[in-house]
Amino acid sequence: MTAILTLDGLTKRYGQVTAVDNVSLSIDANEFFSLIGPSGCGKTTTLRSVAGLESAQQGCIQMAGRTVFDAATRRDLPPNKRPIGMVFQSYAVWPHMNIYENIGYPLKVRGLPRDAIKARVQRVLDMLGMGNLGARMPSQLSGGQQQRVALGRALAIEPSLLLLDEPLSNLDAKLRESMRAELKQVQRDTGLPILYVTHDQDEALAMSDRIGVMSAGVLHQIGTPTEVYTRPATRFVLDFIGTVSYLPCEVLKWEDESVKIRWGEAGEASAMLGVNQDTPKHGPASLAVRPEHVLLTPVADAIQPGLARGRVKIRAYLGDAWEYHVRVGECLIRVRTDSAQALEEGSEVAVGVRQGYVVNADDAGQERVLFS
């Protein structure tokens, strides 16, 4: 597949702050790509650099086979010369134009004849299910409808690339869900590549073909939702995507392809998955576990190897599942079990781990460990 968008070594500084730090990525045709990370990590700045609203200090940006930005040659196409459509977090629907004029504006600016504009706008309105709202003013629309207008305006010119900056964050939870599906549908229908910025991981995991995880301007990992969730490349990604709790453990043996650790009361477990650590570490480390990978059993008389003794501190009923906070030694870990298994608060349990990640004490890296 050919790349529609390629960023190479993009770096943007605001005074002392490096908002985007040497970011490289590429987006293929048809791809839904999400940038995700905590607030202030540089997602918006990256997106705005792609749009041409910010000029980076280093790196270059290629779009649909053209170089639109290159710090080295000082080439910097303004936003109006880039083949993009953009949707802003604040909708940015122009209050002095009606819906029809809002969506038709990008076409009008490009000098399309009136008839063509009319036909195209009507098609976009129909696609968004707002066929009869063209004459309304933005102040007469709900938030969700305004966001749809913003989307329609970005789609009107059939751009090479669609840029979206947290387009759903101003909507309430219900509406957000339905807009999520709608957006995905629009993307399937149009086959438009999308660069999507969000700090909501559910949104990113549900919609994206690939995800880029950012922190403090640095792009930590790029991968499919499954890859990012199950094989986090860095400690940050592990912490940020999904939930993890930490248990102390000790690395006994770390060889090319496997790692052997000890954790819990008397347990010893070995891992089989690929170890790509350069310098294997021995000694104390942490075992990171996700809530759904912990097994709880009402305490047996004897704790088996590889299990630990714990006590249920808090439990919460979530409908489809139970969530427990279980104290194990000094640590509190979060556990999710299916709703059939109800354990009383305060009861003693045996804690087992199906799957986890070994994190070195110095935080330098981590590796996934599967227990048999």
Partner 1 sequence: MSQRITPQHKVSEPPALLRWWLDYRRVMLLLLTLFIAITIVYPLYQVFWRSLMVDGEWSLANYSAVFLRPSNYMALWNTLWVSVLATGLAVLIGTLAAFVVQRTDVPHKALLSVLLVLPFAIPPLFSAIGWVQLAGPVGLFTQWWRELFGAPPPWNIYSPGGIIFVLAVTNYPFVFITVAGALARMDSSLEEAARTSGVGPLRIMKDITLPLVRPAILGGALLAFVSSIDNFGIPAVLGMRAQFYVLTTRIYEALTIPNMPLATAMSVLLVLVAIVCLVAFRRLEGSRGQYAVISGKSVTPNVIRLGKARPWVLAALYLTLVVIVLMPVFALVLTSLLRFWGADLSADNFTLRHYIAVLNQSGARRGIINSLILAPAAATIIVIVSAMIAYLNVKARQRGAGLLDGIATVPFALPGSVIGVSMILAWSNPAFGPTLYGTLWILLAGYIMRYMAFGLQSTRSTLQQIHDSLEEAAWTSGASRLRTIRDITLPLLRPGMLAGWVLIFISAFNELTVSVLIWTTGAETIGVWIFLMQDSGFTGRAAALAVLTLPVILLLYLFTQWLTKLEARRRERRAGKPDA
Ligand X SMILES: Nc1ncnc2c1ncn2[C@@H]1O[C@H](COP(=O)(O)OP(=O)(O)OP(=O)(O)O)[C@@H](O)[C@H]1O
| Contacts with partner 1, residue ranges (CB under 8 A) | 6-8, 24-26, 51-53, 60, 62, 67, 70, 72-75, 78-80, 82, 84-86, 88-96, 105-106, 109-110, 138-139, 141-143, 146, 150, 153-154, 157, 163, 170, 222
The label of the residue with tokens 């301007």 reads 217
**Which of the 8 DSSP states describes residue 201?**
H
Task: Give the list of residues 6+ apart from residue 167 with CB closer than 8 angstroms, or none.
Answer: 87, 88, 89, 147, 150, 151, 179, 183
How many Å apart are CA 61 and CA 46, to the nearest integer? 11
Site string for Mg ion, 26-55 (x = CB under 5 A): ------------------x-----------
**Which of the 8 DSSP states describes residue 319?**
S
| Residue 167 binds which of partner 1, ligand X, Mg ion, none (CB < 5-8 A, kind-dependent) | none
| Residue 134 binds which of partner 1, ligand X, Mg ion, none (CB < 5-8 A, kind-dependent) | none
- Which of 37/59 has CB closer to ligand X? 37
Least CB distance to partner 1 at residue 86 (A): 4
- Which of 44/147 has CB closer to Mg ion? 44
Residues 146-205 that bind ligand X (CB under 6 A): 199
Task: Give the list of residues 6+ apart from residue 98 with CB closer than 8 angstroms, or none.
Answer: 134, 135, 136, 137, 138
The label of the residue with tokens 């087992």 reads 352
- 229-263 exposure pattern, b = at least 16 Cβ within 10 A, e = fewer: bebbbbbbbbbbbbebbbbebbbeebeeeebebbb
- What is the SS3 assignment for 119? helix
Residue 198 touching Mg ion (CB under 5 A): no
Q: Which amino acid makes up residue 62?
A: Q
Site string for ligand X, 10-49 (x = CB under 6 A): ----x--x-x-----------------x-xxxxxxx----
**Which of the 8 DSSP states describes residue 176?**
H
Least CB distance to ligand X at residue 165 (A): 7
- Which of 21/367 has CB closer to ligand X? 21
Query: Which is it for the CA torsion 101, 104, 106, 109, positive or negative?
Result: negative
Least CB distance to ligand X at residue 62 (A): 21
Least CB distance to partner 1 at residue 139 (A): 6
| Residue 307 binds which of partner 1, ligand X, Mg ion, none (CB < 5-8 A, kind-dependent) | none
Our CA dihedral for 15, 85, 163, 89, rounded to 10 degrees, sits at 80
**Cα→Cα distances 100→45, 97, 133, 212, 309, Å:** 30, 8, 8, 35, 65
- 279-298 exposure pattern, b = at least 16 Cβ within 10 A, e = fewer: eebeeebbbbbbbebbebee
Least CB distance to partner 1 at residue 365 (A): 18
Comparing every residue's Cβ against ligand X, the nearest one is 44
| Residue 67 binds which of partner 1, ligand X, Mg ion, none (CB < 5-8 A, kind-dependent) | partner 1
Residues 42-101 that bind ligand X (CB under 6 A): 42-45
| Residue 45 binds which of partner 1, Mg ion, ligand X, none (CB < 5-8 A, kind-dependent) | ligand X
Residues 197-226 that bind ligand X (CB under 6 A): 199
- Which of 200/348 has CB closer to ligand X? 200
Least CB distance to ligand X at residue 39 (A): 3
125 contacts 101 by C-beta, under 8 angstroms: no
Least CB distance to partner 1 at residue 80 (A): 5
The label of the residue with tokens 């922190």 reads 215
Q: Which residues here bind Mg ion, judged by CB under 5 A? A: 44
Positions touching ligand X (CB under 6 A) are: 14, 17, 19, 37, 39-45, 199
